[in-house]
Amino acid sequence: MSAQSTETLFALTLNECVDAIQATGSRVTTLIQGHMGCGKSSILKMLAKANPNHIPCYFDCTTKDLGDLMLPKILTDDDAEFVRFAPNEEMGFHHGRPVILMIDEFGKANPSVKNGMMRVMLERKLGNLSLHPDSMVFATTNLGTEGVGDLLQPHHRNRITTVRIKKPTATEWIENFAYNAGVHSSIIRWVHEFGDTLFQTFEEVTDPESNPYIYHPKSVRASFVTPRSLELASHWLHAKDKLTPTTLKQALMGTIGARGGADLEAYVSIYDQLPKKAEIMADPANAIVPTSASATMMLVANALTGMDREFVTPWIKYMARLDKEAQGYFTLQVANPVYTKKAMVMTNADYTRWCMDNNYLFTPDV
């Protein structure tokens, strides 16, 4: 087995990367390598949420030269002048409190910046200053095989631990990110139907033409589908009522690629079958019910992303008019531990009553 295939086989999930940094980040700098747009930058937010007493610090290597790491400050005593170096505030040395320092795009950094950051990454020091001993340091970079300029010398790698992060599957992206991030429901359903085709890695695709949606270093594509670009496309769809059809199509193609944008724009036409949230809240017994399975599941996705306390009761009353498969899917997603609105729904009296009336949906056959 090649080294590359071994790295792929043992690649870590996003949560596993966070756990690894949490466990050893005060002593070891872990470099997270992964495909572009796969969520590496979100690690800082996840660590900050888990460590509210730490200050999150973001250091973007692509915008730095060696002189940006620290600047000389002339000082004097009774006998002589001397120089003390003041570090860039982005690294958080001045806080005097625990920080979480994310060194982003390390592989693309100027070679002098890579060398200059080595002491920070190995010893948590810069000049004569030290980070708080409880501080955590980690770095991110793209895969070298992507061909976007991420290179590390052996002496750099010998001072850090490198791990590879997995691209999420379609289901992982939907359940662990999209619902909580408010991604447009038509994108969620489109991803659900297309499955992992949209989330394949280029290592899995020998002929780039067999998957026209993703980035492939052997094919020139101005735009393509990644978890990040899907979230960007969501912003365009949330604003679609303010755009002409041509503008929307061009925007989607310029965000997730020609093939992806055209296919998604066609899929969005189903969205017109859906009742508006205000219509369901005003009259759940008579609001229009979609006629196709795709539109029904898109409506469920829309309810999950747009849920609030005032919407739970009318939605439960409306949901009873949908087919049982759609109702069951909604309930399974609500029960997902990472769904941030879980408690809001599950403590609602109408939802509890629905669960009691429909518990047979979740009872295993004997």
- pLDDT band at 366; cut points 50, 70, 90: very low
The per-residue pLDDT for 85 is: 85
The per-residue pLDDT for 69 is: 92
Distance CA 206, CA 137 (A): 36
- Complete DSSP assignment for 56-67: EEEEEGGG--GG
Instruction: Compute the average pLDDT of residues 298-318.
Output: 91
Residue 199 has pLDDT above 50, yes or no: yes
Distance CA 168, CA 146 (A): 17
Mean residue pLDDT across the chain: 89
More confidently predicted of 77 and 36: 36
Distance CA 117, CA 193 (A): 44
The per-residue pLDDT for 8 is: 65
Class of domain 3-164: alpha beta
Residue 272 has pLDDT above 70, yes or no: no
Which residue in this structure is represented by tokens 């170096």? 85
What phi and psi values does residue 148 have, to the nearest 5 degrees?
Answer: -115, 20
Distance CA 137, CA 9 (A): 26
More confidently predicted of 323 and 195: 323
The most distant pair of C-alpha atoms in the chain lies apart, rounded to whole Å, by 89
> What's the length of the chain?
366
Sorted by sequence, the CB contacts under 8 Å of residue 54 that are 6+ apart come out as: 47, 48, 97, 98, 99, 100, 134, 135, 136
Q: Where are the domains of the chain?
A: 3-164, 170-362
What pTM was computed for the model? 0.73
The per-residue pLDDT for 6 is: 54
Q: Write out pLDDT tens, residues 227-269.
A: 999 999 999 999 999 999 999 999 999 999 999 999 899 888 7
Pairing of strands 161-164, 129-130: unpaired
Instruction: Compute the average pLDDT of residues 194-208.
Output: 86
- pLDDT band at 4; cut points 50, 70, 90: low
Q: Counting beta carbons within 10 angstroms of the beta carbon of residue 74, is it exposed (0 to 12), middle (13 to 18) or buried (19 or more)? A: exposed
Instruction: Compute the average pLDDT of residues 315-333.
Output: 93
The per-residue pLDDT for 273 is: 72
Q: Is 70 helix (H, G, I), strand (E, B) or coil?
A: strand
Are residues 124 and 82 in contact, defined by beta-carbon separation less than 8 angstroms? no
